[in-house]
Structure formats: structure tokens, C-alpha cells
Amino acid sequence: MQEPIAATAADGEVIEVRLPAAPTHLPVLRTFTADLAARLDFNLDEVADLRMAVDEACAGLVARAVKTTQLTCAFQLEPDALWVIAAAQTTDGNPPARDTFGWRVLTALVDTVETDADESGVVTVKLYKRRAGTGA
């Protein structure tokens, strides 16, 4: 499995969306994710899974985001897979808890979920989804 973002053009196209970290903007990301996944030939179930996973990850970040900060969502396109990397500066600077219903939802919907937090309070959630029938 390839490492996400910080990629050269040869590693796959990267599309980045930046929005105010507010719940009112989450429908934009859900719709964008679904459209992009459909264009990448993910099947209908995979499109729905990606849409829900991005919503869950971003809603968790937005709920803890510093007021007036931005939510950044980068989509790294690969021939048979998609990385989605969402990040926002949060009030607590902690990655999402792994013992919650939201975490279980994320891990059920995508192939890989990774989290990170830096010293400035920016929390990152990375989601990886491979298209069905393309190998492991």
C-alpha cells in the first residue's frame, strides 16, 4: 500500500478542498466524495461507504475544531484506490478515540484508517479505500 499525499504527480493526482470547519459545509464534502468515487469506477456500495466514512471523519474533526479554522480534505487518486486525508486544528489536539461507535463505523467502511496529531493541535484522519476486485 502506498503512503498518502506528499506525493509527486507520478504517485497519483491530488485534489484538495478547503472549507470553513463548520457542520454546514459537510454536505459539500459528502457530495464531492461520492461524485469523485463514482468517476473512479467504485461500485455503488463503495461510493456510499466512502461518502459515509468521509462524513464521519470530518464531522468528528469539525466537532472539535478551533473556531474560524479550516477543514482541509485532500483526495489522492490511485489507479485502483483512493486516499482521503482530512485535517483541522482542534481544541484538544488529540486524535479520535478508538473505542467509540464512530471509530467502528470508520474501520468498517474503508480498508485503512490512520490518525495523527501534531504539536500545534492539527489532527489528521487518513482513509484508504481500494476498489473491489483489484487485489489486496
- pLDDT digit of tens for each residue in the chain (136 aa)? 334 444 433 457 999 999 999 999 999 999 999 999 999 999 999 999 999 999 999 999 999 999 999 999 999 999 899 999 999 999 999 999 999 998 999 999 999 999 999 999 999 999 999 998 765 5
First to last CA, the chain: 9
pLDDT at residue number 12: 76
Measured CA to CA, the distance from residue 42 to residue 11 in angstroms comes to 19
Domain boundaries 20-130, corresponding CATH code: 3.30.565.10
Identify any residues that bridge with 48 across adjacent strands, giving them in sequence order. Answer: none
pLDDT at residue number 133: 74
- Which one, of 67, 6, 3, 60, lies nearest residue 29 by Cα? 60
Measured CA to CA, the distance from residue 42 to residue 79 in angstroms comes to 11
Strands (E) located in 34-97: 70-77, 81-89
- Map residue 13 onto helix, strand or coil: coil
For the entire predicted model, the pTM comes to 0.87
